[in-house]
């Protein structure tokens, strides 16, 4: 049985594509216009390119434009996500009985993830919360799919990679997790709506990669994980 379940947040524990991602794109574009002094089309291009290349716009902005990463995260995520969320009721009741510790592992900043987790009634039921502002390797931001960050994370929790499971909607992140020896669960339920969300899915989607070889098991919703845990007992097939 897994010792630790690492759960992604957006489009894994709740549907962020319904109303959150669209508004987020717009806020990020506005921030880029204001701070990099570019027009709307260029801001949109910059955001898409960095998301696709790094899995987080933050990394591209810090590396290529020298922005203050923490200020960027704070400025773009200062809003109340709760009225925009769509999620399964009773999720906490379904996740808590899973054997093993549960840890949040999200490329979103904690200013946002704290509110979302509270609304899901999961804030106090998870052993730890790891948001992008905590994901640093040698002082540099290293969000998913950084293998260095994943190795560091597993070591900090004093477990072997095969005792950890990453539960995610993003195949690129599952691929990195599998490469370091973690087990992987693809959550597909929000993929269809995510596909309609501009810019986010092409680099990471399950649709693009199909049933990728890096995936141990697929679920429609995290609420179905309990019924699938037997799959995670099987030896990893490479």
Strand 4-7, strand 101-105: pairing: parallel
Q: Read off the tokens for 188.
A: 């597909």
User: 10 or 44, CB closer to Mg ion?
Assistant: 10
The residue behind tokens 């900043």 is: 109
Nearest distance from C-beta of residue 12 to Mg ion, angstroms: 5
Q: Read off the tokens for 180.
A: 């370091």
Strand 140-141, strand 136-137: pairing: antiparallel
Taking alpha carbons only, the member of 22, 43, 128, 110 closest to residue 73 is 110
What is the rounded distance in angstroms from the CA atom of residue 197 to the CA atom of residue 199? 7
User: 132 or 142, CB closer to Mg ion?
Assistant: 132
User: 8 or 216, CB closer to Mg ion?
Assistant: 8
Strand partners, 164: 4
Q: Read off the tokens for 182.
A: 């973690």
What is the rounded distance in angstroms from the CA atom of residue 94 to the CA atom of residue 211? 25
User: 68 or 178, CB closer to Mg ion?
Assistant: 178
User: 99 or 202, CB closer to Mg ion?
Assistant: 202
Report the interface residues with Mg ion, using CB under 5 A: 8, 10-11, 169
What is the rounded distance in angstroms from the CA atom of residue 125 to the CA atom of residue 92? 8
Taking alpha carbons only, the member of 159, 87, 172, 171 closest to residue 122 is 87
Nearest distance from C-beta of residue 145 to Mg ion, angstroms: 12
User: 8 or 25, CB closer to Mg ion?
Assistant: 8
Given a contact cutoff of 8 angstroms between Cβ atoms, the answer to whether 22 and 41 are in contact is no
User: 25 or 169, CB closer to Mg ion?
Assistant: 169
Nearest distance from C-beta of residue 82 to Mg ion, angstroms: 18
Nearest distance from C-beta of residue 131 to Mg ion, angstroms: 13
User: Would you tell me how many other CB atoms lie within 10 Å of the CB of residue 199?
Assistant: 17
């Amino acid at each position: 049985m897994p010792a630790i379940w690492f759960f992604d947040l957006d489009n894994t524990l709740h549907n962020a594509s319904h109303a959150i991602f669209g508004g987020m794109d717009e806020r990020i574009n506005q921030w880029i216009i204001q701070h990099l002094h570019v027009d709307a089309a260029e801001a949109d291009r910059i955001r898409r390119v960095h998301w696709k290349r790094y899995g987080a716009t933050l990394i591209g902005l810090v590396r290529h434009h020298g922005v203050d990463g923490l200020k960027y995260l704070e400025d773009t995520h200062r809003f109340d996500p709760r009225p925009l969320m769509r999620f399964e009721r009773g999720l906490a009741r379904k996740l808590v009985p899973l054997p093993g510790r549960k840890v949040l592992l999200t490329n979103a900043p904690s200013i946002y993830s704290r509110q979302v987790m509270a609304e899901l009634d999961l804030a106090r039921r998870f052993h730890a919360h790891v948001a992008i502002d905590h994901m640093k390797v040698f002082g540099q931001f290293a969000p998913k799919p950084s293998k260095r960050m994943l190795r560091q994370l597993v070591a900090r929790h004093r477990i072997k990679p095969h005792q950890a499971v990453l539960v995610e909607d993003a195949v690129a992140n599952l691929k990195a997790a599998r490469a370091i020896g973690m087990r992987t669960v693809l959550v597909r339920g929000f993929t269809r709506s995510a596909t309609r969300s501009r810019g986010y899915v092409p680099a990471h989607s399950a649709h693009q990669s199909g049933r990728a070889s890096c995936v141990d098991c697929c679920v429609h919703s995290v609420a179905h994980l309990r019924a699938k845990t037997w799959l995670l007992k099987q030896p990893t097939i490479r």
